[in-house]
Structure 1
Amino acid sequence: MTQLDLRGTPCPLNFIRTMLALEKLSAGEWLQVDLDAGEPEEMVASGLREAGHRVELESLEAGAVRLLICRCG
C-alpha cells in the first residue's frame, strides 16, 4: 500500500498531493494518507468522496488522522 505523511501540509496542497498519488494507482488499489485532524481531514476526505473514491478514517495520536483511500475507477 502506498503511504503519504502529509501532517503539517496546508490545504489545498495536501489534497493535491493526495490526488496526484491516487492517479498513479490502479482502480481498487489503496492509498494511506496521514493528515492533521480538523480542516485538513474534512477538506481532503470530502473532496475524495466527491471524486468517487472510498474513504475510511482512523484516529492516530492527538491531532492526527489516517485516511485509507480506495481508488475507484
Structure 2
Amino acid sequence: MSESASTTTSQPIPDAQLDLRGTPCPINFVRTKLRLEQMETGALLEVWLDPGEPIEQVPHSLKVEGYPIEGLEDRGEFFALQVRRSVQQ
C-alpha cells in the first residue's frame, strides 16, 4: 500500500546514480561529466545535488556542454537531476 511507489512510475529509471551531495562547485560538474563520458550512448544518469549553487550551476553547465536534461526533481533535502549521455559527446 505504498503510495510513494506509484509516484515514481512516470519517471524513467536511471541506468546509474551519482550522489554528489556535499560536493562543491565546480567539482560536482566535473564528476558528473566524467561519469557521463564513461556511460554508453543514450544511458540515463541521475545525479543527486545540493540546493543553491550546485543545482543552479550543474544543469546549466551540462546544457552548455550539449547534454540533454531529462528531469529535475526536488526531493526535499536534495535535488535529483536526470541527464542523458547523448550521441554528440
TM-score (norm 2): 0.76
Matched, 1:41 2:55: yes
Q: What is the SS of the residue equivalent to 1:27?
A: coil
CA RMSD of superposed structures (Å): 0.9
Question: 2:61 and 2:68 mapped to 1: Cα distance?
Answer: 11
Matched, 1:3 2:28: no
Of structures 1 and 2, the one with the larger relative CO (CA 8 A, separation 6+) is 1
Gaps of 5+ in 1: none
Q: CA deviation at 1:30?
A: 0.4
Bigger strand share? 1
Q: Hey, what does 1:70 align to over in structure 2? A: 84
Letter of the 2:20 counterpart: L
Q: Hey, what does 2:76 align to over in structure 1? A: 61
Output one character per residue of 1:38-61: Cα deviation in whole Å (capped at 9) or x when no partner: 210111000111111111211112
Question: 1:22 and 1:34 mapped to 2: Cα distance?
Answer: 14
Count of aligned residue pairs for this structure pair = 72
Q: Which has the larger radius of gyration?
A: 2
TM-score (norm 1): 0.91
Question: 1:38 and 1:46 mapped to 2: Cα distance?
Answer: 13
Matched, 1:31 2:31: no
